[in-house]
Structure 1
Amino acid sequence: MPVDEPSVHNDVSGQVLGPSVQAGIIHGDVYIGNQEPVLPPIPWQLPPAVPLTDRVDELLFLGRRRDRSAHRGHPFLAAISGLGGVGKTALALGWLHTLRPSLPGGQLYADLGARSPSGPVDPAETLSRFLRGLGVAPQQVPHTLAERAALYRSLTSRRPVAVLLDDAESAAHVRPLLPGGDSVTVVTSRGRMTGLTLEGGHQLHLEPLAPVDAMELLADTLGDRRVAECPEDALALVALCAGLPLAVRVVGARLAARPRRSIAMMVGALSEERGRLDALAIDGDRSVRAALDLSYRGLPADAARLYRLLGTHPGRHFDDGLAAALLAPTGATAGAAADLLDALHDTHLITETGEDRYRFHDLVRLHALARAEEEEPAAERAAALRRVAGHYLALATRAEHAVEPRRPTLERDPAARAAHPAPFGDGDAEAALDWLERELPDLVAVIRRVRTTDFPWFSWQLADALWPLFPRRKHYDHWRTVHGEGLAAARAHGDRPAQARMLTSGGLGELGRGAHDRALEMFEAAAEILAADGDALGHARTLNYRGLALQRRGEPAAAAELFARAAAELPRHGDPRAGALARLNAAGIALDAARPEDAATAARAARDTLREAGDPYNAARATTVLGRARLLAGAAAEAEGLLAEALAVLRGVDAGYEVARALESLAEIARDRGETPLARARYEEALRLYVDVHRKERADAVRARLGALGAAG
C-alpha cells in the first residue's frame, strides 16, 4: 500500500522549533492595538467531592498548616498516605473543594497511576496537560520536562491554584509537578512520601475510620434504621471491613439494595469471604477484597460479566459505548450497557468522573481483572480486548475523517467500519479533535497493550488514525510514543507499508520537536523500504521529508537538490499537490539565498497548483513567499498586496508562524515608507507570535529591528 503524505500545517513548513523563550513571562499578557486582551482560561479539573464521615481532625490539620504557610508566604504541600480504600482521595477532594474561593486561579488534577496496569504517568505528560489547562497554546508547550516545569511554576506563581496529585509513586515522581507561588498541593500515595519534607511537605497518614465513625458511614449508606436497631451487628460488620470507607460503602450498598436482609446475615457472609482471602491479603487489602467479592457475587449475571470484561480494558476510563462494545456478542445496546454501568455505580464498584464517564478505584480494577482471569477463558479475554481496540479504532477513524476527510489512510481492521455512537458529528473537526485529545491517554494504553497480542495491527492503525491530532495540538510525547509502538508492532508482524507510514508520520513529529537528525534517519529508513517495495510515489514523498530535515540541519544545498527531485517526480507519480509543496520548499531556500526571481517563479507555480488542489492554507503560504520575493526584488507595492492577501487567509487558520512571517515583511514595507507606528505594531505582533511558536532566531531578529526603529524614531 502506498504511504501518502499526511496533511500537515506549520510542522512541515520549514520552521525550526527550539527551546522555550520566557514564554511564561508573556503568556496571556500581551496584546496589540485596540484588541482586548484574551484572558487565560481557569481550569476546574477536580472530580466531584464525595461526602466525608468524620475526618474532623484531619481537616483541621490541613487547614491549620495551610494557614500557617499562607501567613509565611509559602506554598502549601501535604502528602496524604494510607491503605488502599482508606479514603485518601475523598479527604483531599473534600478539603480542596472548600478552597475554591481563596484560589481563583483554578484547580488541577492528575491521576499519576502508580498502580495502573500501564504504569505511572510520565511527569512530562502531566505537565503538558496542566499547561494546556492553564491556557498555554499547544505550540507553546516546551519540549523538555525542565522547560515545562519552569513555565508551569512561572504561571502558577502569578495565579495560585489547587493541585491534586493522586496515586503518586514517589517523591521524585511528584517534584516536577509542584506549582509556584501561593498554590496548594495535595499528594496521595499508599506509601509515606517522606521525601517531600525537603519541599516543606506536611505528612498526614490516614488511618481507617474509628468504629463509631464507620458505623455512621454504614448508616448513611443504608439510609434506614438497621444500624440503630442492631448496633452490635453493625459494629461487627464495620470491624470486618477494617474501618476502610471503600469496603464499608461496597458492603453497605449491597445491604441497601436488600432492605429486608439483616446486618447479621451480611456479617456471616463477609466473615466467610475474609477467611477465603486470608492467603491473598497484601498491604491490608484483604478487607476491601472480601467486600468486593461479596458485592460481586450479588450482581446480576449481565452486570457481573460487564464488570469482568471492563477489567480487561487497558485504559483508565470507560463509558456506555465501550461497555456496549464489550457486550456486543450478547446484542446489548448502548442504553442497556448504560443501565448496567448504573448498577455497578450504585454498588460503588465504579466511580463517575463526569460526562457519563466512569473509572475504577485501583483496588476494584485489580479485583475485576482477577475475576476475569478466573472466570473468563483466555480466548474470551482476548476477544474482549479486541472489541475494546475495535471500538476505539472505529471512533478514532471517524474523528480522523471529520478532521481530514481526504487523507488516505492505512488499511483498517473491519471493526473500524462498525457502527458506534460518537460524541461528535462527522463534520465537526474541533469536536473530533477534542474527543481525540480527551481519550488520548486511554488510546495510548490500548496501543501499547495490543502490540504484543495476536492482533498487533490495531497498534499501528490506531496510531495512524490519531495523526490529525498531533500537528494541531502538539502532543509531541504521545506522538513519539504511539508511532514507536506502531513501528515496533509493524516490524514484528512484517508489515512493510505500515513500517514506512510509522517512520514518516513519526519522523514528522521528530522534525517538529527539533530532533532533526532522528527525523532524517526515520525518513531515510522509510525511503529504503519504499524503494525496495517498488512504491515510487511513497519514495518520492520521502524526498520532500528528507529535504526538510536537511534544511533544518543547515544544509540548504542538499535540501534544494531533494526538493527539486520531489517537485519533478511527485506529479509524474500522481501527486501534484505534494509536488507543489516541494516547489514551495525550494522557493524558501532560494529566498534565503537572496535569489528573488528564482523564489518568485517557484512560489508562483506552487501557489497555482495548490489552489487547483483545493488547499487554501498552503496556497496562502506560497503567496507569502511570493510576496517576500517581490519585496526583495524591490516591488514593494506588489509585495504589499500579496502579503495582505495571504494574511487574510492565514489569520483564519491559526497559523502563527506564517502570520508572523507576513507581518514581518509588511512591517518592513511600513518602515521604509516612514509609517513608524504601523511598522512598530506589526513588528510587535510578529514578535509575540514568533515567541509563541518557539522561533528564537526570528524573534531575536524582530527585537533588533524594533530596537533600531526606536533609535531611529
Structure 2
Amino acid sequence: MADETYNSLDGRADVVVQAGSIGELHQHLPAAPRVAEVVPFQLPPALVHFENRHAEQERIARAADSHAEDDTPLVVALTGMGGVGKTALGFHVARKLSGRYPDGVLYVDLDDLRREGVVEVADAVAGLLGGLGVPPDWLERSFAGRTQQYWTRTRGKRLIVVVDNARYGTEVVPLLPAGGGSLAIVTSQGPLHDLDGVAAVEVPVGPLTVDDAARLLTRLVDDPRLAAEPDAAAELARGCGGLPAALRVAGQWVRKYRRRSLSRLVAELTEELWQKGVPMVEAVWDAAFAGLAPEPARLYCLLPQHPAPVVTPAAAAALLGCGLQPAEDALEELEAAGLLESGPEGFRMHDLLRGHADRRARRADPGGTARAAARRRLIRWYRRQAARADLLAAGPRMTFAPEAELPAGGPPDVVFTGRTDALRWLESQRSALYGCVRLAFDAGLFEDAWALCEPLWTHFLDHPHYADVTDAFRTGVAAADRSEHLAAMVRMRCQLARPLWEQQQYEQAAEELRRASSAAEALGTSPGERKLAASAMEFRGLLKSAQGDWAAAVVDFEAARRIHAGIGNAYGVLLQTYLLGRTALSQGEPERAVALLREAHAMAREQQRERMTARTGFELGRALRRAGRAPEAGELIRASLENARERGSAFDEARILEELALLEDELGARSEAAACREAARQLAERFGGLPGPAQSS
C-alpha cells in the first residue's frame, strides 16, 4: 500500500526525522536564519503602447490623494465592456502609484478561478496569501481561517491589490486588504451594486475616441500609410469600436499587407460589412484569420477547446496532434497576427477573440468532428503527463487507470527533472487539469475523467484548492459510476470524502464513504481488491478521527490492519499501526500509544521507509513525553527539529518547537521553553500562520 505513505495522513506536511539510533542529544537550538521578506510585485511587464485615459487616471489620483487612511482601503472600480482596456488601465495605474504603496502589488484574475460562473473565493484568498509569502502548508483550511490570515497579513500595510474580472461585489469584499492605507483596483464589466459596506470610487472606462484609437494604432504599427492616409486610419480605428484588443489585431493586419494602400484595405473591410452584415471589428478579425497559414489557422479554431486561459506549446501540440516544433511555429504566427498574447506561463487569447475563434471553428467544422478529436488528444495527453508527474512526486501508489498512450508523431512527454519539478508542473497546469476532468466527462470519456482524478489527489494534498478538487472528484465519482469500474467507484468516493470533511462537511463525507464501503463489499478476494477494501476502511477511520470519534476510528484501523496482515502487506500493517498509535494518543492513552508507535517505528526502520520512520519517530517522542518519559522523548524531538530545519520546512519547525517547549517545561528548563515558543511565534508571524495557543499537552 505504498500510496498511503503519501495519501492517507495529515494533508499538511508531516514532520520528518530519521531516528534510528541516536545518542544523547540535548542542545539549545537557536532560531534558524531567515531570508529577508520579498516585497511582492505581481503585475506583468508594462505595455509598450498605452494611450490616453488621462481623465480616468486623474480621477483615480485625486481619490488616492484625498483618501482618509482609516480602517477602510481605497477601492477603485473600473467598469466597462470586455476588450475596452480596463485591465491595462488598472495595471498602468498600479505601476504609476506603486511608489506610494511600499508593501507591494498583488494581482488575482477571478476568471482564472471561475468554474461555471462561480468563483471559490477561498482559493482567490489563498492566491493572494501566496503572493504575501504564505506557503501552502501554512494556509488555513477554511474560508474563514484564510480570510483571517489575509486580514492579519495585510493589517497596517500599504498595498495595492488588483482584482480583475469581478462579476459580483461578494467576490471582491473578502479580497480587500485590511490596511486603511491600501488601494484596491477592481475591474468589472458592470457596476458592482453588492459591494456591501464599501464605498467604491467608480470609474467608467469607455471605448477610446476615434482620435485616441487612431493614435494608438500609429503607435502599434510603425507604418507611414497611417500618417499619409489619416481618413482611412480614422475609419479603421472607428471600425474597431475603440477597443484596444481589436486595434492590436488591426495593426498587425495592416503591417502584414505593406504593399497595399490603407484606403484599399479599409475598403475591403467595408465591403465585408455591407455584403455579410458583420461588424467591422469582426471583419478585421476575419481578415487577420484569412491571412494565416493552414496550421496556425487550424490551431486558432481549436484553441477554444482548451479549458484553461493559458496554453503551452506542448498543449497546443496535443490539440493539433503534431510535434512540438510545428505547434511553436503556429503559436508564434498567431502572436505575430495579434491573435494571441505571450507571457512567461504560455499564450493567452482574449475572450473576444476566443469567441471569434469559436465562430470560425463552427463554420469550418459544423459537425464538430475535428474539435472532438482535438479534445480527445488534449485530454489524453494531460492524463498521461499528470500520471507521470504523480508517479515521480509520490512514488508507486494504488491507481487503477491504465497508462494513456501517445500517438506516433504527436506531442512529446514533458521532461521532469525530479519530484519538485513534477509537483511544480501539476500546480502550474492545475486549471487545465481540472478543466480536462469536466471536459472529458461532458464528452462521454468517462475513463479519462476518473483517471485524471487519480494524480490530482497528490496535487490536492499539497495545494488544497477546495472548489476545484471537490468539483473534480464529484465528476470522477460520476464518471466511475458511468463506466461501471468498481475499483474506481470505491477509490473516487474515498478521494472525494477527504476534501469534504476538511471543509467540515462531515455528513456528505460520511455518505460518500458509506457508498464506497458498500461498493467495496462487491470486490473480489485478490490481494489488490482486499487492499482497496482496507483503504476504504482506513478513510472511514480518518473521517471519524476528524470528528473526534476516536473509539470508532480504532475499530476501522484495526479492521484494515487485519486485512493487510492477511494479504501479507507489511506496509499496510505499519500504516494502520501508526494510525492506531496516534489515535491512542488522542484518546489520552499515552502508554498504549508508546507501545503502538514503538512497534510502527521498528517496522518502518526494518522496511527502510524513511518517510514513515520520520513520522513514527516524532509521534513516538510526543507519546513518550505524554507518558512522563521526557528524557527518552528529547532525543527524538530534538532530532526532528534539526531535520525540519535541514529540509527548510518552517511549518514542521514551528510544530516541533511547540512540542519541544512542552518538553522543556517538563524538564524544568523554563527559559529554553520560552525561547522555543518565541521562535515558533516568530515563524508563524513570518509565514502567515494565525496566532494561537501552543499545542496542548
* TM-score, reference length from structure 2: 0.88
* Cα distance between partner residues in 2 of 1:337 and 1:42: 37
Deviation at residue 608 of structure 1 after TM alignment: 1.9
Higher mean C-alpha deviation, range 407-416 or range 500-509: 407-416
Selected match of 2:350 from 361, 385, 397: 361
- Aligned pair partner of 1:451 in 441, 447, 468: 441
1:435 and 2:432 are equivalent in the alignment: no
Aligned CA distance change for structure 1 residues 611 and 211 (closer, same or farther; 3 Å): same
Question: SS of 2:178's equivalent?
Answer: coil
In structure 2, the CA distance between the partners of 1:215 and 1:499, relative to structure 1 (3 Å rule), is: same
Distance in structure 2 (CA, Å) of the matches to 1:95 and 1:686:
39
Deviations 1:20-43 (A, max 9, x none): xxxxxxxxxxxx945445544433
The worse-fitting range, judged by mean Cα deviation, of 105-114 and 189-198 is: 189-198
Q: Is the 8 A contact 1:503 1:523 kept in 2?
A: yes
User: Partner amino acid for 1:458?
Assistant: D
- Shift, 1:368, TM fit: 0.9
Structure 2 CA distance for aligned equivalents of residues 453 and 631 of structure 1 = 56
Distance 1:146 1:636 in 2: 37
Partner of residue 22, structure 2: none
Tell me whether 469-478 or 110-119 shows the greater mean CA deviation. 110-119
User: Matches of 2:443 and 2:544 in 1, distance apart?
Assistant: 38
- Equivalent in the alignment of 2:212: 213
Q: Are the structure 2 counterparts of residues 561 and 431 from structure 1 closer, same or farther at C-alpha, using a change threshold of 3 Å?
A: same
Aligned residues of 2:5 and 2:611 also touching (Cα < 8 A): no
Quote the residue 2:416 is aligned against. Answer: 425
Which residue of the partner structure matches residue 330 of structure 2? Answer: 340
Against the structure 1 CA distance between its residues 687 and 152, is the aligned structure 2 distance closer, same or farther, given a 3 Å change threshold? Answer: closer
In 2: Cα distance, 1:694 partner to 1:353 partner: 29
Residue 543 of structure 2 corresponds to residue 549 of structure 1: yes
Deviation at 1:102, TM superposition (A): 2.4
Structure 2 residue aligned with 1:486:
476
What one-letter code is carried by the residue in structure 2 that aligns with 1:247? Answer: A
Matched, 1:235 2:226: no
619-628 vs 483-492, which deviates more? 619-628
Higher relative contact order, chain-length normalized (CA < 8 Å, sep 6+): 2
Indicate which of 120, 123, 126 corresponds to 1:125: 123
Amino acid at match of 1:448: R
Match in the other structure for 2:159: 161
- Residue of structure 1 in register with 2:77 after alignment: 79
Which residue of structure 1 aligns with residue 391 of structure 2? 401
Match of 1:294 among 283, 287, 310: 287
SS in 1 for 2:75: strand
Relative to structure 1, the CA distance from residue 75 to residue 615 in structure 2 (aligned partners, 3 Å threshold; closer, same or farther) is: same
Q: Percent identity?
A: 31
Q: 1:401 offset after TM fit, Å?
A: 1.8
Q: What is the CA deviation profile of residues 585-610 of structure 1, one whole-angstrom value per residue up to 9, with x for unaligned ones?
A: 22233334554443332212211222
Tell me, yes or no, if the aligned pair for 2:644 and 2:653 is still in contact at 8 Å: yes
> 8 Å contact 1:617–1:653 — kept in the other structure?
no
Picking from 15, 40, 49, the partner of 1:43 is: 40
Q: Deviations over 1:631-677 (max 9, x none)?
A: 44544333323333444445555777766665455434433433211
The whole-number CA distance in structure 2 between the counterparts of 1:163 and 1:667 is 38
CA contact (8 A) 1:490 1:499 kept: yes
1:565 is matched with which residue: 559, 569, 580? 559
Match of 1:141 among 132, 139, 142: 139
2:436 and 2:591 mapped to 1: Cα distance?
A: 52
Partner of 1:19: none
Contact (CA 8 Å) 2:437, 2:452: kept in 1 or not?
yes
Q: For 1:268-279, what aligned pairs fall within 5 Å after superposition?
A: 268-275=267-274, 278=277
Deviations 1:355-412 (A, max 9, x none): 4x11111111111112112212412111111112122222212221221122232314
Give the conservation status (yes or no) of the 8 Å contact 1:350–1:359. yes
1:57 aligns with 2:55: yes
Distance 1:70 1:459, change over 3 A: farther
Deviates further, 641-650 or 546-555: 641-650
| CA apart distance, 1:219 | 1.8
Q: Which of 348, 359, 364 is 1:370 aligned to?
A: 359
Residue in 2 aligned with 1:307? 300
Q: How far apart are 1:243 and its partner, in Å?
A: 2.5
Segment of structure 1 superposing worse, 450-459 or 37-46: 37-46
Inter-partner Cα distance in structure 2 for 1:694 and 1:261: 60
The Cα offsets for residues 526-572 of structure 1, whole Å up to 9 and x where unpaired, read as 22212212222211222222222223323222222222222222132
Cα distance in structure 2, aligned partners of 1:152 and 1:161: 12
Residue aligning to 2:523: 533
1:111 to 106, 109, 112: 109
Distance (Å, rounded) in 2 between the aligned partners of 1:625 and 1:505? 25
Q: CA deviation at 1:429?
A: 1.7
| Structure 2 contact 239–281 (Cα < 8 Å) conserved | no
Counterpart Cα distance in 2 of 1:519 and 1:78: 41
Structure 2 residue aligned with 1:711? none
Give the TM-score taking structure 1 as reference length: 0.86
Whether contact under 8 Å (1:14, 1:552) holds in the other structure is no
Using the TM superposition, name which of 383-392 and 509-518 deviates more: 509-518
What residue identity is the alignment partner of 2:336? D
CA–CA distance in structure 1, aligned partners of residues 317 and 581 of structure 2: 53
Deviation per residue, 1:123-162 (Å, 9 max, x gap): 2221121112212232332334344334323322333222
The 2-side partners of 1:54 and 1:164 are apart by: 20
- C-alpha distance in 1, partners of 2:147/2:685? 18
Q: 2:310 pairs with 317, 323, 326, which one?
A: 317
Q: Look up the match of 2:260.
A: 261
Q: Aligned partner of 1:470: which letter?
A: F
Which ranges of structure 1 fall in alignment gaps of 5 or more residues?
16-31, 281-285, 706-713
Structure 2 SS opposite 1:591: helix
Deviations 1:53-95 (A, max 9, x none): 2222222222222222267885222222223322222222222
Which residue identity is paired with 1:493?
S
Residue 320 (structure 1) shift: 1.0
Give yes or no for contact 1:156–1:180 (8 Å, CA) kept in 2.
yes
Relative distance call for 1:416 and 1:173 in structure 2 (3 A) is farther
Cα deviations across residues 442-461 of structure 1 (Å, max 9, x unaligned)? 22222122212131222211
CA contact (8 A) 1:76 1:201 kept: yes
DSSP 3-state at the match of 1:532: coil
The whole-number CA distance in structure 1 between the counterparts of 2:557 and 2:687 is 25
In the alignment, the residues of structure 2 paired with residue 117 and residue 480 of structure 1 have an alpha-carbon distance, to the nearest angstrom, of 12
Native 8 Å contact 1:11 1:508 kept in 2: no
Change (3 A) 1:663 1:514: farther
On the 8 A contact 1:277/1:289 being kept in 2, the answer is no
Residue 98 of structure 1: how far off its partner (Å): 1.7
Q: What is the distance in 1 between the residues matched to 2:12 and 2:351? A: 45
Query: RMSD value over aligned CA atoms?
Result: 3.3
Alpha-carbon offset, residue 581 of structure 1 = 1.4
Structure 1 Cα separation of the partners of residues 684 and 147 of structure 2: 21
- 1-structure distance, mates of 2:66, 2:3: 61
Distance, in Å, in 2 between the alignment partners of 1:378 and 1:13 is 44
Classify the secondary structure of the residue corresponding to 1:450. Answer: helix
Is the 1:413–1:458 Cα contact (8 Å) retained in structure 2? no
1:83-113 deviation per Cα after TM superposition (whole angstroms, max 9, x unaligned): 3322222222222122232223222222222
Please say if residues 550 and 586 of structure 2, whose CA atoms lie closer than 8 Å, have aligned partners that are also in contact: no
1:616-695 to structure 2, matched below 5 A, reads 616-652=610-646, 663-664=657-658, 666-685=660-679
Taking the aligned partners of 1:154 and 1:13, their CA distance within structure 2 comes to: 21
SS of equivalent to 1:460:
helix
Runs (5+) with no aligned partner, structure 2: 15-28
One-letter amino acid of the counterpart of residue 134, structure 1: L
**Contact 1:140–1:692 at 8 Å: present in 2 too?**
no
CA contact (8 A) 2:383 2:404 kept: no
Q: Is it true that 1:178 corresponds to 2:176 in the alignment?
A: yes
